[in-house]
């Protein structure tokens, strides 16, 4: 029973880490990356659809993204979605391909992005700590129901704390890499 609680908690924390990683991939660093726009929702026959399901996205140059829709009539909808997003990019097209030029980031914008990264990191840490708290509550219930002993409860609690510390260290490591990437000129 104890192993199940710990395993479920580790799974929840892993999911949190994966979500954080995906989330941070979408933060612009001044370098072209398809991850910037691939999850952007585009109105496709009345349904919001991720851009990567409607077009091929490539980064042929360090500061250029190209988006080649699979249907030519989608160009307008894709441009509208890009303009409505908070990316701050202006699309240009030649009737077949949409080009997004990625401008250099100003120092002010870099610091703003660093603050956004720190906010996301803190949200991930809170999610990890919440998973730990829920697991400890589950262990308390198991102890109250006499399914596990008091020693097993304390052993499980200590093991959960070790796992939590590991995941918080991983979150900090991911955050440090992203901040370094943003601050590179």
Are residues 91 and 40 located together in one domain of the fold? yes
**Residues 89 and 148 occupy one common structural domain:** no
Report the alpha-carbon angle 141-144-149, nearest 5.
100
Most confident option among 11-25, 29-43, 84-98: 11-25
Q: Is the pLDDT assigned to residue 1 strictly greater than 70?
A: yes
Q: Which residue has the tokens 């009737």?
A: 95
DSSP for 120-178 reads HHHHHHHHHHHHHHHHHHHHHHHHHTTSS-HHHHHHHHHHHHHHHHHHHHHHHHHHHHH
Final residue of a domain: which of 51, 73, 101? 101
Q: What is the pLDDT of residue 7?
A: 93
What are the pLDDT digits (tens) for 40-60?
889 888 899 998 899 999 989
| pTM exceeding the 0.85 threshold for the entire prediction | no
144: containing domain = 2-25+106-183
Q: Are residues 157 and 114 in the same domain?
A: yes
């Amino acid at each position: 029973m104890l192993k199940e609680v710990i395993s479920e908690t580790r799974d929840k924390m892993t999911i949190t880490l994966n979500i954080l990683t995906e989330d941070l991939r979408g933060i612009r660093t001044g370098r072209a990356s398809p991850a910037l726009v691939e999850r952007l929702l585009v109105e496709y026959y009345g349904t919001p659809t991720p851009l990567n399901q409607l077009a091929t996205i490539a980064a042929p140059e360090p500061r250029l993204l190209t988006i080649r829709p699979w249907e030519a009539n989608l160009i307008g909808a894709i441009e509208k979605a890009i303009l409505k997003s908070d990316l701050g990019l202006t699309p240009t097209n030649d009737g077949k391909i949409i080009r997004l030029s990625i401008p250099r980031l100003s120092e002010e914008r870099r610091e703003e992005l660093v603050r956004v990264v720190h906010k996301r990191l803190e949200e991930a840490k809170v999610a990890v700590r919440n998973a730990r708290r829920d697991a400890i509550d589950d262990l308390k219930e198991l102890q109250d129901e006499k399914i596990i002993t008091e020693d097993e409860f304390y052993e499980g609690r200590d093991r959960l704390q070790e796992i939590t510390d590991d995941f918080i260290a991983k979150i900090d490591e991911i955050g440090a890499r992203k901040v370094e990437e943003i601050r590179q000129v």
